[in-house]
A and B are shown apart, each in its own frame.
Chain A
Amino acid sequence: DAGITQSPRHKVTETGTPVTLRCHQTENHRYMYWYRQDPGHGLRLIHYSYGVKDTDKGEVSDGYSVSRSKTEDFLLTLESATSSQTSVYFCAISESGGGTYEQYFGPGTRLTVT
């Protein structure tokens, strides 16, 4: 199994509070991704990173920011959580951005915003 951990695994927070989710990898892969999973929508890309300090937006980036100061860590921040951000969040990593490279997924973080 690829060495990907996500923390926390479960979190309940109140509307309007800031939340940071962490993804940590031990594979030294260049690309890291944040997705959210919602019923009927599959997985949707929030942000991704193609190197330290290099990030780009995905399909559903509004309300989210990311940072990558080290190869192994990719942080996802909800500046002011809303109920629509209740979801399961998955981190993924990939050796390179070329389409032949597999994305490996972490175990997920279940976030509930009340």
Chain B
Amino acid sequence: AQSVTQLGSHVSVSEGALVLLRCNYSSSVPPYLFWYVQYPNQGLQLLLKYTTGATLVKGINGFEAEFKKSETSFHLTKPSAHMSDAAEYFCAVSDRNGNKLVFGAGTILRVKS
């Protein structure tokens, strides 16, 4: 069975600082990996995804993530945090059938001015 672990339920950074949100997955087959963002009282929006090919994936709003098979990780980064990045972020994994997404518990990002 697939699973996702997001280290840190809350992360706080200063505006302009590096954002690093950690995601580790467990999958018996090569996975598809996703990061979603949820702003308060809204649904989820896709930030980026890894399917095949280049392991460094760029997404919207300056975010990127790197798939590291040897570490079973898919950490999300952004070089410089902005106040508007404050939200909850979810890592998710699906198998090659892709019928179902398995989500991590989420990480709430706080950006301090």
User: Which of B45, B90, B98 neighbours the largest number of chain A CB atoms within 10 Å of its CB?
Assistant: B98
Please, how many residues of chain A have a CB less than 8 angstroms from a CB on the other chain? 26
Q: How many residues of B contact A (CB 8 A)?
A: 27
Q: Which of A50, A99, A108 has the most CB of B within 10 A?
A: A99
Q: How far, in angstroms, from A107 to B100 measured CA to CA in the complex?
A: 20
Q: Are B43 and A103 in contact (CB under 8 A)?
A: no
Q: How far is the CB of A37 from chain B (nearest CB, A)?
A: 9
A42 & B99 in contact (Cβ 8 Å cutoff): no
B97 contacts chain A at the CB level, 8 A cutoff? yes
Tell me which residues across on chain B come within 8 A of A59, comparing CB atoms. Answer: 102
Within 8 A of A (CB), among B54-113: 90, 94-106
Q: Which residues of B contact A98 (CB under 8 A)?
A: 97-98
Query: 6 shortest A-B CB distances, which residue pairs?
Result: A99-B98, A105-B43, A99-B32, A42-B103, A105-B44, A97-B99
What residues of chain B have their CB less than 8 Å away from a CB belonging to chain A? 4, 6, 9, 32, 36, 41-46, 49, 51, 90, 94-106
